[in-house]
Structures are given as structure tokens and as C-alpha cells.
Structure 1
């Protein structure tokens, strides 16, 4: 029997200049998306800024919701049911991308082709929703007729099996508290080491 697991999709509006520009072009908000394998968003992946202060240096990233960029963000967090096999495929793909992340770049030009509704696949280059859609499609989680290079965060929010867990300030997301490390545990473990 196939076990059902949960993955989590995080949609954010960080309020940055790039985000505001994208919001204006798409006439919507929550234009950055990420995928997580835990409710506390500690295993959170996307294509975005490699440095919070530099919007032009982007690529495959493991995101940290504790950084200032995310702390002031508004968000929506959704869960999605997947099988063990689908989860395994996604995690393997992530491991591969992490091990070769120097070869992946942010698809800045792809943002413009999406706005013009022009398909343009670029090897090893993704923007956030293109990455998440590719991961979901390659693992068999979703079937989508639209080319992944044209998928917007709003298209992912429309997935019929998504369950809304939370909407509001990301810093107030209740499950973040469950994943915060206890500072005494690290101190105790180091003392024993």
C-alpha cells in the first residue's frame, strides 16, 4: 500500500523592488514560490537570490525563512499530498541539484518571456515557479499542459489538491516555532563531545 506524505508550497511577497515589479506585471501578489518537505519550512528550496542583498546573483537555493527578506514577507503556505515514490523522486532531484548548484542559474530572461507568453527553455536556468513546476511534473505529482517555462506562481496556487494551511505574515507562521532549535541542546551536546 502506498503511503501518503505531505509537501508544502510557500508563496511569498517580499516587498522588494523586483517583487513589486513582478506584482505589477502579473497584476497579483505572492509571486515567489518555494517547495518544502516539512511543515516547519526548514527544508525549503527554490530559485532565487543567493545573497539577500543582491537580486542579480541568483540560482538554486536552500532558503532560510529566518533571514530579514522573509521576515517581513506576507505569504500563503499550502500542503499537497504525494506518494512515497513521488517524494523520493523529488528529494533525489534536489540532492542532485544541490551537489551541482554551481551549474544552475536564475532564469531572469525567462520572466520576460512568461509575461509575453513565449516559450523559451534554457538549460539549467529556472525561475521559482518554473523550478517548482518542473519538480512536481518530473516526479509525477502533477500533469500540466502548459510548458513549465510558462508556469507562474498563480498557476501553482490553482492546483486543485492544494490545502491552505496559513495566510499572513511569514514571521507569524505558527509551525516555525516547532522547528526552532533549542539553544541548550547544542550547548549540552558540545559539552559532551
Structure 2
């Protein structure tokens, strides 16, 4: 039996994402993973507090009340990956380690610079968004690329042939989110 996990790529339009976009030329520069199409169980590495872009780490993102709620014009693309129930179990076990130790994790800002240099910069308990999502897949035995998680960018998800496009547009126009928002 198969199941699905979802990858959300976003562009909030903040100064930080505009700066990254200037360099990457990619339309989306933040990646998150969800175990449901409603995106209610959404995880990433990003802002711990919506008002403070400098306070980053492992986060359970909340579209309606978290950082995204401050940026209603956030654009996104959502992909679906078909996986087995066993792979979902493995991913959830990996995720549980992050959840249980969330206060120990930091945002890997140097790793973002490493990606631009094509040189992985890794620290224990330190990730950037796409590195984290890729790490979940990697540790669960799901190989999407021939590169280390520390070199995976949000744009790599857009070009991954195993992912199926679900939606592209304004985040708050995505059916399951829009239904909750109204």
C-alpha cells in the first residue's frame, strides 16, 4: 500500500528570501515537509519566531498562525511523493528525533553559503530547510538525488522527476489551506 508525503516550497517575499532569490534565481527558496495534504503537519528549519528572522532552528510550521500568516501573498508550489507505509514509518521515526530534541537544533546559515560554493558545510544538530527535508528522505532510505543533503537546494525538489506537482500559486489559495482560512 502506498502513502504520500508533501513538499512545500515557498517564497514569502521577505528581505531574506529576496536576497537569496537574487543569488539563486530560483522562484522558491524555502522547503518544508508534510505528512498530510492539508499541510497541518508541516516541518522545516526556519524562523522560530515570526517576528525574528535571526532566531532559527527546527520548527513545526503553522500556516494559519505562524510566519506564513504574516505574509498572505506567499507564493508556493506543492509536490507529492508516493512512498510505502514502511517508508512513512521510517520518516516519522527520523522526524521524532528532531521533535524530541528541537531545542538542540540550530539553523545552518553557513551551510547555505556552502551550497553556493558547492562545498557541504555541516555541523551536528544544524540544518537549513532543504538540507533538513532531504535528510529526512536520506535517513529513511529514499534516494532522490546523487548528492549529500547538505548540498540540496529547494530548487532541486522542483526538478526531481519522482515528485508530482499538486499545486502552484498563492499559498492561501491552495484548496485545503483556503478551506481552513475562510
TM range (shorter): over 0.9
Q: Deviations over 1:51-109 (max 9, x none)?
A: 01111110000001113245320000111101111100111111221111011000011
Distance in structure 1 (CA, Å) of the matches to 2:144 and 2:118: 19
Distance in structure 1 (CA, Å) of the matches to 2:76 and 2:3: 22
Distance in structure 2 (CA, Å) of the matches to 1:5 and 1:100: 27
Structure 2: 5+ residue stretches without partners: none
Give runs of aligned pairs for residues 12-31 of structure 1, distance below 5 A. 12-31=10-29
Distance in structure 2 (CA, Å) of the matches to 1:137 and 1:44: 18
1:118 is aligned to 119
2:35 is aligned to 37
Change (3 A) 1:5 1:125: same
Q: Deviations over 1:92-140 (max 9, x none)?
A: 1112211110110000111111111112221110000000011111111
Distance in structure 2 (CA, Å) of the matches to 1:9 and 1:43: 11
Structure 1: 5+ residue stretches without partners: 182-193
- Aligned pair count reads 179
Given that 1:65 and 1:71 are in contact with CA atoms closer than 8 Å, whether structure 2 keeps it comes out as: no
- Please identify, of 62-71 and 30-39, the stretch whose mean Cα deviation from structure 2 is larger: 62-71
Q: Secondary structure at the match of 1:90?
A: helix
TM-score if structure 1 supplies the norm length? 0.88
2:51 is aligned to 53
1:104 is aligned to 105
Shift, 1:174, TM fit:
0.5
Measured on the aligned residues, the alpha-carbon RMSD in Å equals: 1.6
Distance in structure 2 (CA, Å) of the matches to 1:129 and 1:140: 17
1:162 counterpart = 2:160: no
Q: Secondary structure at the match of 1:24?
A: helix
